[in-house]
Amino acid sequence: MSSLLIKNGTVVTATDHYQADVYIEGETVSMIGATLDIVAEREIDATGCYLFPGGIDAHTHMELPVMGTQSSDTFETGTLAGLHGGTTTIIDFANQSRGGTLEAAIQEWHRKADGHAVADYAFHCAVTDFNDDSRKEIPRVVHDHGINSFKIFMAYKDTLMIDDAQIYQLMEEVARHGGIVTAHTENGDMIERNIRGHLEAGNTAVKYHALSRPAYCEAEAAGRAIDIAHATGCPFYIVHTTCEETLEMVKVATLRNQKVHVETCIQYLLLDESWYAREGFEGARMVISPPLRKKKDQQALWASMNQNLVHHVATDHCPFCLAQKEAGRDDFTRIPNGAPGVENRFELLYSEGVAKGRIDLNKFVEMSSTGAAKIFGLFPRKGTIAVGSDADIVIFDPDVQHKISAASHHMNVDYNPYEGWQVQGKTRTTILRGTVAIDDGKALVGRGFGRYLKRPPKKGPLAN
Ligand code: URP
Ligand code: ZN
Ligand code: ZN
């Protein structure tokens, strides 16, 4: 069995940080000690560096079919890019097709990912056509496929959205089988009406994308889904939360002791609606749903991490090249929704969060890794550095500065929303299951190194 000793680093988990040596045998952490006097096949000196649990991005869309095109990262390119930045596990969405089965969606996503992904991966199952047949599939999805999380879209009317009655029944069934429902919360009917109004008035520019999807549309849907989750007793998670109004809904739910798991994404913390006022068509790069919000919403999201109202920072990585975005130059509704981020999330959250004093080191680990591992049933295999856990470790140098650029990133997309941003701290080495995957910017693993992760249903006192 291979062995690797990481000397002199500072181990950081969601609760501790301490100087220690970490000994890895095969794929697993087998010893952690102040000073380990042990001979290993390979030794890495991590003096001056943090040892973080490998990042988990619980919201990505690799090769997602959208509006006649597909997101430009494959499982191979997207997960490799993630590894460069310090993300060792992604959870992608296997989207059911209208008229198709959940089984077919999961098989399709396995075809995309198996033998291709470079980092480890799991799937959420997105239910876009809920009926008696799809309801009957749920136990198999949970127990045979190891998928304990489902996704609903409350927006994208006529393609992905399901209605409240369907949501209610889905939540009842998912709760029965120990799963969790995740939701894209935007009021699809209101948005559709807004869009029609803008198009009829000849308002086709990029900014009307954001104007069609105000924060109250997001918060209304969040409140509704929270109530249905409460009524059904279903564990519930809001994806890509953007605004203060939605956080208010979550706060209200806490008063009746309802736990609502909340994800935000790095772009909502760092970028704002001024993107849509940019010259010409540039704003199309950040046409995402929900759209970027106001600076006051960014402040609320940062604060909510520290108040334990936000539990994970993901990316919603869904990149499209500029030529793909061009499809909507004359009609904002034709711009494929999505933007890149999987490579930059981890380092940006450290740089903008820890280095700028908005969150501490433990909160950084919780947001980038542990929170998602716990919510989605990967913990303690993933999401921490502990004896018996997978040896997914990022050796992170807090003193190195670097600049983000599409010219040097590894994502398969020809722009970067953070172009020119100066980043404090850098992923020096990424270790995935005991193998050095990235070292000083060099990839040492390739296609097919990633492994599919089955996730058990949630039970017992830690389940929520
Ligand atoms: O604009 C976005 N977010 N595209 C990806 C699909 C989704 O809604 O998550
Ligand atoms: Zn979404
Ligand atoms: Zn998404």
Non-local (6+) Cβ contacts of 76 within 8 A are: 116, 117, 118, 447
Indicate whether this model's pTM tops 0.85: yes
**Nearest C-alpha to atom 5 of ligand 1 is from which residue?**
338
Rounded CA separation 342/314 (Å): 8
pLDDT for residue 59 is more than 90: yes
Q: Which atom of ligand 1 is nearest to the CA of 239?
A: 9
- Read off the pLDDT of each residue in 331-336 and give the average, rounded to a whole number: 98
**Nearest C-alpha to atom 7 of ligand 1 is from which residue?**
289
- Residue 436 is given by DSSP the state E
Identify which ligand lies nearest to the alpha carbon of 318.
Answer: 1
Burial 173-183 (b: 16+ CB within 10 A, else e): bbbebbbbbbb
CA distances from 443 to 77, 310, 315, 390, 414 (A): 12, 33, 22, 20, 20
**Nearest C-alpha to atom 1 of ligand 1 is from which residue?**
288
- Read off the pLDDT of each residue in 27-55 and give the average, rounded to a whole number: 98
Q: What is the DSSP string of 39-79?
A: --SEEEE-TT-EEEEPEEEEEE-TT-EETTEE-S--HHHHH
Q: What is the DSSP string of 145-208?
A: T---EEEEESSSTTTTB--HHHHHHHHHHHHHTT-EEEEE---HHHHHHHHHHHHHTT--STHH
Q: Which amino acid is at 427?
A: T
Angle at 125 between CA 119 and CA 129, to 5 degrees: 150
- Read off the pLDDT of each residue in 35-54 and give the average, rounded to a whole number: 98
Pocket test of ligand 1: the residue of 286, 288, 333 to mutate, having most ligand atoms within 8 Å of its CB, is 288
Mean pLDDT for the chain? 97
Q: Taking ligand 3, which is a single-atom ion, which protein residues have CB atoms under 5 Å away?
A: 316
**Confidence class of residue 459 from pLDDT cuts 50, 70 and 90?**
confident
- Per-residue pLDDT reduced to its tens digit, 364-422: 999 999 999 999 999 999 999 999 999 999 999 999 999 999 999 999 999 999 999 99
